[in-house]
Amino acid sequence: MFEYRYLIVGGGMTADSAVKGIRQVDPSSRIGIISDESNPPYNRPPLSKALWKGEPLTKLWRGTPMENVEVHVSTTAKSIDTERKRVVDDKGEVYAYGKLLLATGVRVRSLPWKAEGIINYRTLSDYQRLRQLTEKGENFAVIGGGFTGSEIAAALTMNHKSVTMIFPEEGIGARIYPPPLARYLNGFFQSKGIDVRPKTGIESIEKRPLQYMVKIQGGTKLRFDGVVAGIGATPNQELAASAGLEVGNGILVDGFLRTTHPDIYAAGDVANFYNPAQGKRMRVEHEDNALTMGEVAGKNMAGETAEYHHQPFFYSDLFELGYEAVGDLDSRFEMVQEWKDEFREGVVYYLNESRVRGVLLWNVWGQVDAARALIAENGPFTAETVRQRIPA
């Protein structure tokens, strides 16, 4: 049996930050990590960006402190005995813990067609498989118009591949951007050589000996050397649920990131927490949240009592366009757009119930804290009063 003062299930960015958080308070006790991936913690964002622009793989690693830390790779935690404080893995190994962190993240949704070799993109091994395919293949389908789909389409195009983007919405990023911006992005991606097919469903995908045949709505058949999907993700909460912890769109945690069991914490993409500025519970699938929350969870496991009040930001790169954003970017909210240069540089405010819930800083840099402060203000705000609050 392995025995750890601190045990972490999941070996992603949250796990790495938790180790760093623990070490700020407790420099030496034993830490164990159970990870079902075959690598130590690494940065996920470069998988769809920097690695395609020539950044070496060696820059991917998080540099998790390894002194008195054991990472059990290619190992899946299967059950938790909350009474005896033990975790059992898929090989029957038992891990005793003092404090447990669930940093199990999310898993990507898979397309319903079982054609072998479709890449539902999320991990380093997915990146490696796609890289390998690009060595021989020229022609790729990217399914999904959200973060992953748009970034992978841009990455493949920058690597001189022919790309067709297929998604059901009206425009790229339609769930978070104002409709005119999402439509502009369709044209922008097209101008880069991508065949953009919005409002398009898929009827079937079949693997042929050398290629994939994708039949889109209306019956047109398209052939590709590879198919990559980025169609959203679901929280890995089953382990927590089967241990009797409360779940509901993620694992529910309190302000100190404790689950409904006092010795078990959860953080990162899988955690459902109360955000005071938004006035609601939420789950965030972004790097800043994973890193900050992981660190707070680690400190609290080691004896501190820090509350998680952070308003996470996120970012994306789309060819030469890029942005930072804070809060809840929901295109169902009222959106107030202020462009200095239309669709090239500007600020979009997302209003709901007279509060600013989110801010999109489109090619506008260094304003993340100003956006956080605005979201924390009680308001009331209207489309008129919010204008000019953040200079574009």
Ligand X SMILES: Cc1cc2nc3c(=O)[nH]c(=O)nc-3n(C[C@H](O)[C@H](O)[C@H](O)COP(=O)(O)OP(=O)(O)OC[C@H]3O[C@@H](n4cnc5c(N)ncnc54)[C@H](O)[C@@H]3O)c2cc1C
Q: Is 12 in the site for ligand X (CB under 6 A)?
A: yes
Taking CB under 6 A as the criterion, which residues in 77-116 touch ligand X?
A: 77, 103-106
Question: Facing residues of 195 across strands?
Answer: 164
Sole binder of ligand X in the list 5, 23, 44, 197 (CB under 6 A): 44
Q: Is 10 in the site for ligand X (CB under 6 A)?
A: yes
Nearest to 285 by CA among 244, 331, 249: 249
Taking CB under 6 A as the criterion, which residues in 161-220 touch ligand X?
A: none
| Full DSSP string of 111-151 | PS---TT-EE--SHHHHHHHHHHHHH--EEEEE-SSHHHHH
Sole binder of ligand X in the list 29, 68, 76, 363 (CB under 6 A): 76
DSSP-derived pairing of the beta strands 345-352 and 334-341: antiparallel
Q: Tokens representing 178?
A: 């104002």
Q: Tokens representing 344?
A: 């090239």
154/347 with CB nearer ligand X: 154
Cβ partners under 8 Å of residue 222, min gap 6: 141, 164, 213, 214, 215, 216
288/334 with CB nearer ligand X: 288
| Per-residue contact flags (x/-) with ligand X for residues 288 to 317, judged by CB under 6 A | x-x-----------------------xxx-
Near ligand X by CB under 6 A, which window of 22-30, 39-47, 350-358, 382-390?
A: 39-47
Sole binder of ligand X in the list 40, 45, 144, 358 (CB under 6 A): 45
Q: Is 328 in the site for ligand X (CB under 6 A)?
A: no
User: Which H or E run includes 287?
Assistant: helix 287-301
Rg of the Cα atoms in the chain = 22
Calculate the alpha carbon distances from 374 to 96, 348, 355, 371, 385 in Å. Answer: 45, 13, 9, 5, 12
| Per-residue contact flags (x/-) with ligand X for residues 262 to 291, judged by CB under 6 A | ------xx---------------xxxx-x-
Q: Is 226 in the site for ligand X (CB under 6 A)?
A: no
Which positions lie near ligand X, rule CB under 6 A? 9-15, 34-37, 44-45, 47-48, 76-77, 103-106, 122, 148, 236, 239, 268-269, 285-288, 290, 314-316
